[in-house]
Amino acid sequence: MIERVLTIGAFGFNERSFVAALKAAGVDLFVDIRARRGVRGAEYSFVNSARLQASLEAAGIKYIHAKELAPTERVRAVQHREDDASGTAKRQRTRLGDAFVAAYERECLGAFSPKEFSERCLRDSSRPVFFCVEREPEACHRSIVARRLASALSVPVEHLRPD
């Protein structure tokens, strides 16, 4: 039974602090909701799919990829336009644009059933964490998914952040 829904991003962590945060929070299921499961550059290579899955397995945390929750290229383009208009770099974004949120909810979560997803993917978990790369949960679609799921399950949301 789900006790709480958690989220985490990669930016701001290193491999050791990332896994330590997951373990300290009691995460038992890692839900990767990225379309592409890689990050450019050595600094965040620890979240590239194969390496990430090996680290999670060593920590005793189950991994699943829920690509159906990733924003489509078209939806991501909405946020890119909003970032360009405001002069905001992706890693500097602190919140999602209203147009992105509306497009994501309509196109990606329109058919999303928290109950069905929970029964299908989360049934053996008490503390799943939803993952994408952005540092701030308010700047990432993971916060939208977590909020929707937590509301449907009447549980709290906790965002894991780097120190």
User: Which tens digits make up the pLDDT trace of 82-105?
Assistant: 999 999 987 889 999 999 999 999
What is the model's pLDDT at position 55? 97
What is the model's pLDDT at position 107? 96
User: Which tens digits make up the pLDDT trace of 68-84?
Assistant: 999 999 999 999 999 99
- CA dist., res. 44 & res. 52, Å (int): 10
User: Which tens digits make up the pLDDT trace of 1-41?
Assistant: 999 999 999 999 999 999 999 999 999 999 999 998 888 88
Q: Do residues 19 and 59 lie in contact, with contact meaning Cβ atoms separated by under 8 Å?
A: yes
Cα 85 from chain centroid (whole Å): 25
